[in-house]
Amino acid sequence: MRFFCESLLFLAISLLFGCSNLPHKEEAIAEVNGEKISVGEYLGLIETLKPKDMGMDKRDRGELKNLVIKTLIRRQVILTEAKRTKVLLTDLELESGIEKFKAGYTAGAFEQSLLEQMVDEASWREKIKQNLLIEKMFELSKPKIPEPTTEEALAFYGSNRRLFIKNTFAKALHIVVPDESLAQDLRRRLRANPKDFLKLARENSIGPEAQTDAVIAVEKDLMPEEIDRPLFETPIGEISKVIQSAYGFHILKVINRSPTLNLDFHQVKAQIIARLIQDRRQEWLMRFEERLIRSADIRYNRELLARL
């Protein structure tokens, strides 16, 4: 069965690239530091990265081919250098690194990101493994990255003033329900007894904040206008009118608002220094990887590549 599936894949790639004279999958398209990259690896990555629901013209196929070759070369450079320097990645380090990368995604956003990148999770995990390996090798090389100076931090602050404007925001108790008649009933009850806001939110609201403190904190102009306006115009402490949006029917009680703030340099100096350190580290890491690739012994089988 496995042989049958591999044969089908081989045939599919043949048709995709318009070539019926493909070499055997065990042949090497390149060698990196004495380690072979096989036709089978090349075809497997092609199958992973090629668009699943659209055709490809000659230019698209050429770009995909170059991407696959570069990806395989990078992987082999990293793996052979890790082997040479005896740098290993434990299962715990790998899983911890993967969780760190996933932490920035909300529910469903990670899967959507994979779809947009047209990669499966196994390929994504392999790429993360390579990134973690090269970071570990980089750290073991004990790079002497110069610390950013105050002058550099000031220059960054001057060139990026927009980053240091803290927009006005409002904090409010919030209830959202799917039914207007329920919203109107809740509003009447709240006007009679405003202290019941949290109790009624927990019993009725479909908003996630209802199960904690029912409080939302929102920057101005980030919400739809029908919600943004009452957030910033309803008198503090009053129960708002019922507000309809695409999410349902809302009731707000604004707790407080903060004005727009222009943060001065001393308030954000530590933040800027941390940002510059991270940027500089990333730049050095990229140079480290480029040096590894330039110094690697890479030999292409150009005759075979031309037939793929």
CATH for 168-259 is: 3.10.50.40
The predicted pLDDT at position 47 comes to 82
Ranges for all domains in the chain classified under CATH 3.10.50.40: 168-259
The predicted pLDDT at position 48 comes to 78
Does the domain spanning 2-143+288-307 belong to CATH 1.10.4030? yes
* Entry pTM: 0.64
Which among 194, 196, 198 has a CA at the least distance from the CA of 236?
A: 194
Which among 256, 43, 288, 280 has a CA at the least distance from the CA of 153?
A: 280
**Residues 161-190 pLDDT 10s:** 989 988 899 999 999 999 999 999 999 999
The predicted pLDDT at position 52 comes to 66
Task: Name the burial class of residue 177, with classes exposed (0-12), middle (13-18) and buried (19+) by CB atoms within 10 angstroms of its CB.
Answer: buried
The predicted pLDDT at position 2 comes to 44
**Residues 282-304 pLDDT 10s:** 999 999 999 999 999 999 999 99
- Is residue 88 predicted with pLDDT exceeding 70? yes
If you average pLDDT over every residue of the chain, what do you get?
Answer: 87
DSSP H or E segment with residue 248: strand 248-258
Ranges for all domains in the chain classified under CATH 1.10.4030: 2-143+288-307
The predicted pLDDT at position 118 comes to 63
